[in-house]
Structure 1
Amino acid sequence: MMLSGLSLFAAKELPAYMDESLPMEQRVEDALSRMTTQEKINMIHAQGKFSSPGVPRLGIPDLWMSDGPHGVRAEINWNDWGYSGRTNDSITAFPALTALAATWNPTLSFEYGNALGEEALYREKDVMLGPGVNIYRTPLNGRNFEYMGEDPYLASVLVVPYIKGMQQNGVGASVKHFALNNQELWRGHINVNLSDRALHEIYLPAFKSAVIDGDSWTIMGAYNKIRGQHACHNEMLLNKILKEDWGYKGVVMTDWGGAHDTKEAALYGLDLEMGSYTNGLTSESEFTTDDCYMARPYLEMLEKGELPMSTLDDKARRMLRLNFLTAMKRNKPLGSIASPEHYAVAEQIGNEAIVLLKNSPVAKGGNPLLPLSPDVKSILVVGDNATRDLMKGGGSSELKVKDNVTPLAGLRALYGDKVKYAQGYRAGKPMYSHVEQIPASVQDSLRAEAVAMAKNADVVIMVGGLNKNHQQDCEAGDRESYALPFGQPELIEALQAANPNLIVLLLSGNAVEMPWADKVPAIAQAWYLGSMAGKSIANVVSGKVNPSGKLPFSFPVRLEDNGAHSFGA
């Protein structure tokens, strides 16, 4: 009797590692027993910018990662940092994690993680590089917008549902940056010293919750040193605390370029090396991925007996578990991208994130400015951030969005031709590691135009704050000043003098100095709200939504009121 091809396949017994009905550890040990030493080595370091190898001989697929934590980043070239120029990688940008933290809403955090996991699935990603839970220590940290604020308890509560929502889709979370990445200045070499009490009470609780309660499948190490040893191969942090005390079974990966030593990487808890032999960000080199610390140099040390084979087997086991949970997992959902459902999640998070900082009547006995009166006849919107694509720039969290409802577009959709616009100030192109200098004459001219228009409006809405330029809310460079940039303080005071009916909306992931706060009747912190930012802002300005957000970090009056700066530089 002839058997069909399907029957032949069904009759052939699957190897144990491919049988998803068997216990995970049985599958892992079976796969490990079939692998060569070279195949194990291959599995624990990158093969391209965002991929690490599987085991092709055994049908174990490669792993694919993407930057997060607010959306799936556009496709990057295989072996340089340029964008590949694809036309099918536009996505939903979700609000930044500071905005999610401001909702104080674990249910929304789950919906956020799930929606992002669905977008990652559609883009065929196995691991999303986020969420970030480093503690907000100084308002100058360029990367604070990627994290969940300064309160260890709040971050601990919110990180768990995000992870669970994402990982239910078969997409691994990568909680970062473990640990004490609390500034970008000198991040590659700064040595952080602190007490055990500060470490365990302030800086580790959110990571501990992510591991123990969230079961995060991966963790990303930080660039900095802790007590003299780099975080990506730190004996105390990775071996003692993470793997021994917390019982972590997942994968520890480097931040890109975060490995520095083969022996330390082998012995002190690193499982996957990514990005080495570049600076992690912008440059290419003559080296290949076989030159990674955990590639040929590791293999040579094993062959010489300088390192025990058990170190490699432990790393390979962890990589196999991750692979079986993600890339090799059958019956995953198909995922979806830039869908009405995802836009609704982004909008709802934005609705609940906006924080009303001040809302006083302009005149004694009058009504507060917010929400806007339905009878308003003319609205002047001022500010570069009212029209800017705030998903561009910022470093690794830069996003390519399918749709972007700007604050100006959101207000015009609601109020039509009642809305006029003046740029008011120019912020320059979003650039990584460089700042575009804007001539003072340009800023003076834009300010004068906005002030002249303000005199004829019923109400003025200033949409300012920071953006994703270098030395603002941007990776690899901290802010140089606590003040608002681009002459915004002078602009705000001039607008208020011209028209007392002034609302200031601050778009930022950081606290800012507000010496003008006493003069401005209405102020709201509106964060970076992603694709649906304009809708959420219009919802709050109009009164359709009551602003219920709560600050996840403090706004010191002066920089020196912040603990990290109270003793000077």
Structure 2
Amino acid sequence: MRRRVRWVLLGTFLLVLLAAAVPAERPHRSTPMAIGRQPAVRVAPSRLVRATTRAVAAAGQRTPDPLARCPWLAAAIRAGAGPDQLAGLVLARMTLTEKIGEIVLRPANGFENTNAGVPRLCIPPLTLQDGPAGLGFGDTGVTQLPAPIALAATFDPSLAWKYGQVQGAEAHAQGIDVVQGPDLNLARVPENGRIFEAYGEDPLLTAAMGTADIQGIQSQGVLAEAKHLVAYNQETDRNLVNVVVSPRALQELYFRPFAAAVTSGHVGAMMCAYPKLNGVYQCEDPALAAQLAAWGFTGLLRTDYAAAPDPVAALKAGVDLVKPADPGALLAAVQSGRLPMAAVNRAVHDILVVAFRYHLVENPPAGRPNTPVASPSHENVALTVAEHAIVLLKNSGGLLPLDAGADAPIAVIGSDAAAPVTGGGGSSAVLPPFVSSPLDAIQARVSNPGDVTFADGATSPAPLPPIPSSALTADSRNTPGLTLTLSDSSSAGRHTVVLPTPVVRIVLGAAPRNRYTITGSTVRTIAIPANAGVTSAVFSGTLTAPTDGLYDFSLSCTGSATMTLDDHVVPLGVLDGEGGTRTAALSLHAGHRYRLAIHWQPFGVTSPAHALYDRAFFALGWKDTTPAIDAAVALAQRARTVVIFAADRTGEGFDRGDLNLPGDQNALISAVADVNPRTIVVLNTAGPVAMPWLSKVGAVVEAWYPGEAAGQAIAAVLFGDIDPSGHLPVTFPTDTAQLGITTAQQWPGTQLTVRYSEGLQVGYRYLNAHQLKPLFPFGYGLSYTTFAMNDMRVAPVAGGYRVTLTITNTGSRAGTATPQLYLTFPAAAGEPPEQLAGFGQVTLAPGESGSVTITVPRNVFSSYWNGRWTTWPGGYRLAAGWSVTDLPIAATVPAPS
């Protein structure tokens, strides 16, 4: 024993020396890299040290054998039995109750999702946890990575692999078997509340980044779970809406990233989505399992939460794991014959096969949720992704990068500078261990503390303080407050109450039937019975501002709401959903009695599904922001340079009503730029936003939701430590009509049906087909240097073409170029022109040239016609350039053989 420990210690010493000799590698793109080439798996020095530390511990102290109580299973594993055979051995020994326990997910022991496992047969529970940007469900001690849309903006699959490696390593260290991500849905509409959670509007880019993320996750011995299959492109009415999509659009656009996740990423699990697809709940549709089988999927298929109203139908259709479901009800369904035993056995067998394939039985991940697993190396990945995700949209006169001396004094303006929005809300939300603020990072760059000043300037995109009763008068009464009228389906029909003091929150479901409960000494909350069948609520009265000024209004609610002042609709844009906050800015005149009316549908059309969620709520707030804007303008006048931060706040459960920045942020930016043209705007947003002030400002950068390292990353780009190399994974339109989805039937739907009548013309494809110029096109991104594309060589290879581009850095500093290829089909194919066909990257010093090779496989040349994939004869145009609207070099080739 002593000899074995001595050899292990010697090996440890040598490995530590080796680790110390390896230079610390900062993830950076220094060599050409093209789509399709997967990064090599490298073990960081810190992992080597941790591995040998575990080896020493194992030499001196044996860990419990998870198969000690099951010698029959241990013997089969030692004999080399495969996952299918092992699953059969276990399944034959299980009771019906144990089988039901395997297919039902529930939260337990700090895990978001877990099944029961079969302890007597040495089968541990399967554990699953969100999410796409780091571990969620309130987990702590984890890394908050930038939002996936930021990752997409890097156009760098090697970074996506490292991003996934962090997700997988932290999951494994917390005892989690399955990471619930990535999200592979396309950004069909920019108002989508979860647009930040996926990779943008293009299926090829989504497939490339998502596949690399999956491979990174699964390199750590855990499963990735691609979601949400399929055509889940809005939050409005998501539980009940029927999505009508043509087979061609479904195959060419929406299925494509999921197919790549299976065929290239070999993803271990898949989650089916909420919406009905062409009339059928997807999690209850056998066609979905059949499509997965056609791709060769052999992993787990589970429902999203409450995405299968009938769990029995879902299991019969091929789903393996359901949530929620009553085990007793499923047991009764088997006993009555409604749920075939064969469906139960198939689901359990699938679960066991995956558990054995990933060695989750004999070597389950150790650890517990909330165990600190973030590390400096993980923080470095988060920082690197955030830096390379930033897109430079405008840079007039070379205003950027900043010089800490010459460009001072610097006025930093906007609440997001001090408390940045680092991630989206909902199931993908991550609790960061720290947040680097842009204000702190900018102050750290300037030697004289007085050279950086700060003004809040605008409200944050969060609920505002309640409107005081002194500004409100109830209907037909000389009484402060508002009149609330509820309509319900009970015999009483309507209930009216005067709310005499500020109401912070109205809650349904916390009071006896037909009775109101007012809590708090100053009426902070009013509770209304949920079982009264409330269908609508109307707040009415008058609003009187105490002073002239610009006022922000915030409206937070479930369901949908419309607010009017003097019969003019306030553009709050609250759509039907599970809860969100919308803000709008209005100029009000002191003393004018504005007629105020708010129509609220607490549940709207989604009322059946909302029984599964938290109680409905409503809250209204306001703030006079004129003094804050005036102070910001005064500060900007005294500064040489202004950096103004603006953000939105989106999340699961609600869509944006429009693309305006929340509250008074547009007014703030415009007012500041009027007095200082050296204004730089930094956007922390979920996706595209309107920029009515664009012509006034000197520079604009898009930082997305940059994660915990927000301030460090933004400062690094602003001051030129990092050359901005991000590119837009979504179109920034001049207005949403430019994207061709302009009718209620297309979005958010009518009578619970959304028609994807635009077909293939989604995002930039619509603009290409109609020759429209957006605000900023797909693939766009500026740099602090310049690049030239000097040569394009196209050569046929087996099953496609190899395109080689020569790129030269013609500027004065190093930078990373991202050449992109776009394909135009023969006219007979009926395809939108110039679709992304590939991309690559190369980092070059000033004056240096390099080549990028991009392989375009045969399937990129295929269209889906009449139920099959077809390659049309004729000429295909391959154009190369820097965005979908900047393509200086092209070549025409025949259909690949």
Q: Structure 2-normalised TM-score?
A: 0.56
Query: How far off is 1:434 after superposition?
Result: 4.4
5 Å-filtered alignment, 1:84-95, equals 89-95=140-146
Query: How far off is 1:307 after superposition?
Result: 3.9
Q: Hey, what's the Cα distance between the residues in 2 that align with 1:210 and 1:146?
A: 16
- Does residue 25 of the first structure (1) align with residue 112 of the second (2)? no
Query: How far off is 1:34 after superposition?
Result: 1.6
Change (3 A) 1:535 1:550: same
Change (3 A) 1:414 1:21: farther
Match of 1:493 in 2: 670
Change (3 A) 1:99 1:329: farther
Match of 1:251 in 2: 300
Query: How far off is 1:494 after superposition?
Result: 0.3
Partner of 1:411, secondary structure, is helix
Match of 1:386 in 2: 417
- Does residue 349 of the first structure (1) align with residue 380 of the second (2)? no
Partner of 1:455, secondary structure, is helix
Match of 1:451 in 2: 633
CA contact (8 A) 2:129 2:179 kept: yes
Tell which deviates more after alignment, 342-351 or 424-433.
Answer: 424-433
Query: How far off is 1:439 after superposition?
Result: 2.4
Q: Hey, what's the Cα distance between the residues in 1 that align with 2:72 and 2:257?
A: 44
5 Å-filtered alignment, 1:558-569, equals 558-565=735-742
- Does residue 242 of the first structure (1) align with residue 301 of the second (2)? no
Q: Hey, what's the Cα distance between the residues in 2 that align with 1:111 and 1:454?
A: 40
Query: How far off is 1:105 after superposition?
Result: 0.4
Q: Hey, what's the Cα distance between the residues in 1 that align with 2:440 and 2:354?
A: 43
Match of 1:270 in 2: 319
Match of 2:845 in 1: none
Partner of 2:206, secondary structure, is helix
- Does residue 410 of the first structure (1) align with residue 444 of the second (2)? no
Match of 2:118 in 1: 55
Query: How far off is 1:336 after superposition?
Result: 7.1
CA contact (8 A) 2:461 2:663 kept: no
- Does residue 34 of the first structure (1) align with residue 64 of the second (2)? no
Match of 1:523 in 2: 700
Name the count of aligned residue pairs: 523
Q: Amino acid of the residue matched to residue 412 of structure 1?
A: Q
Q: Amino acid of the residue matched to residue 357 of structure 1?
A: L
Match of 2:347 in 1: 315
Change (3 A) 1:344 1:496: same
Q: Hey, what's the Cα distance between the residues in 2 that align with 1:230 and 1:523?
A: 43
Query: How far off is 1:195 after superposition?
Result: 0.7
Query: How far off is 1:448 after superposition?
Result: 1.2
CA contact (8 A) 2:141 2:372 kept: no
Change (3 A) 1:24 1:518: same
Q: 2:579 aligns with which of 408, 416, 433?
A: 433
Change (3 A) 1:6 1:506: closer
CA contact (8 A) 1:102 1:550 kept: yes
Which structure's CA Rg is the greater one? 2
Match of 2:643 in 1: 461
CA-based RMSD = 2.6
Query: How far off is 1:124 after superposition?
Result: 1.7
Partner of 1:316, secondary structure, is helix
Match of 2:452 in 1: 419
Q: Hey, what's the Cα distance between the residues in 1 that align with 2:659 and 2:76?
A: 55
Change (3 A) 1:10 1:271: closer
Query: How far off is 1:465 after superposition?
Result: 2.5
Match of 1:129 in 2: 180
CA contact (8 A) 1:347 1:536 kept: yes
Query: How far off is 1:509 after superposition?
Result: 1.6
Match of 2:821 in 1: none
Q: Hey, what's the Cα distance between the residues in 1 that align with 2:640 and 2:268?
A: 54
Query: How far off is 1:14 after superposition?
Result: 4.3
Q: Amino acid of the residue matched to residue 634 of structure 2?
A: A
CA contact (8 A) 2:187 2:730 kept: yes
Match of 2:400 in 1: 370
Deviations along 1:399-438, one digit per CA (max 9) or x if unpaired, are 2111111221222222252322111111254777143655
Q: Hey, what's the Cα distance between the residues in 1 that align with 2:445 and 2:64?
A: 58
Normalized per residue, the structure richer in strand is 2
CA contact (8 A) 2:138 2:430 kept: no
Query: How far off is 1:22 after superposition?
Result: 3.0
List runs of 5+ in structure 2 lacking aligned partners. 1-62, 464-555, 557-577, 582-618, 748-897
Q: Hey, what's the Cα distance between the residues in 1 that align with 2:64 and 2:90?
A: 25
Q: Hey, what's the Cα distance between the residues in 2 that align with 1:333 and 1:109?
A: 25
Q: Hey, what's the Cα distance between the residues in 1 that align with 2:684 and 2:242?
A: 32
Change (3 A) 1:508 1:37: same
Q: Hey, what's the Cα distance between the residues in 2 that align with 1:148 and 1:99?
A: 8
CA contact (8 A) 1:142 1:184 kept: yes
Q: 1:184 aligns with which of 224, 235, 251?
A: 235
Q: Hey, what's the Cα distance between the residues in 2 that align with 1:491 and 1:9?
A: 67
Q: Hey, what's the Cα distance between the residues in 1 that align with 2:441 and 2:657?
A: 32
Deviations along 1:428-463, one digit per CA (max 9) or x if unpaired, are 54777143655241x222111111111111111111
- Does residue 208 of the first structure (1) align with residue 238 of the second (2)? no
Q: Hey, what's the Cα distance between the residues in 1 that align with 2:393 and 2:239?
A: 36
Q: Amino acid of the residue matched to residue 39 of structure 1?
A: E
Q: Hey, what's the Cα distance between the residues in 2 that align with 1:322 and 1:20?
A: 19
- Does residue 197 of the first structure (1) align with residue 269 of the second (2)? no
Q: Hey, what's the Cα distance between the residues in 1 that align with 2:682 and 2:64?
A: 62
Change (3 A) 1:176 1:331: closer
Query: How far off is 1:304 after superposition?
Result: 2.9
Partner of 1:381, secondary structure, is strand
Change (3 A) 1:480 1:265: same
Change (3 A) 1:392 1:109: closer
Q: Amino acid of the residue matched to residue 632 of structure 2?
A: A
Change (3 A) 1:566 1:549: farther
Q: 1:302 aligns with which of 320, 331, 334?
A: 334
Partner of 1:555, secondary structure, is coil
Q: Hey, what's the Cα distance between the residues in 1 that align with 2:359 and 2:742?
A: 43
Q: Amino acid of the residue matched to residue 404 of structure 1?
A: V
Change (3 A) 1:200 1:428: closer
Partner of 2:204, secondary structure, is helix
Q: Structure 1-normalised TM-score?
A: 0.87
Query: How far off is 1:183 after superposition?
Result: 0.4
List runs of 5+ in structure 1 lacking aligned partners. 77-88, 277-288, 362-367, 468-472
Query: How far off is 1:39 after superposition?
Result: 1.1
Query: How far off is 1:373 after superposition?
Result: 2.4
Query: How far off is 1:19 after superposition?
Result: 4.6
Partner of 1:272, secondary structure, is coil
Q: Which has the higher contact order (CA 8 A, sep 6+)?
A: 1
CA contact (8 A) 1:560 1:566 kept: no
Match of 2:429 in 1: 398
Match of 1:514 in 2: 691
Q: Hey, what's the Cα distance between the residues in 2 that align with 1:382 and 1:329?
A: 55
Q: Amino acid of the residue matched to residue 359 of structure 1?
A: N
Percent identical residues? 36
Change (3 A) 1:310 1:260: same
Q: Hey, what's the Cα distance between the residues in 1 that align with 2:238 and 2:413?
A: 36
CA contact (8 A) 2:275 2:282 kept: yes
Query: How far off is 1:256 after superposition?
Result: 1.3
CA contact (8 A) 1:352 1:549 kept: yes
Change (3 A) 1:484 1:47: closer
Change (3 A) 1:486 1:169: same
Q: Hey, what's the Cα distance between the residues in 1 that align with 2:347 and 2:265?
A: 21
Query: How far off is 1:10 after superposition?
Result: 12
Q: Hey, what's the Cα distance between the residues in 2 that align with 1:45 and 1:310?
A: 16
- Does residue 118 of the first structure (1) align with residue 169 of the second (2)? yes
Q: Hey, what's the Cα distance between the residues in 2 that align with 1:162 and 1:6?
A: 33
Query: How far off is 1:305 after superposition?
Result: 3.1
Q: Amino acid of the residue matched to residue 548 of structure 1?
A: S
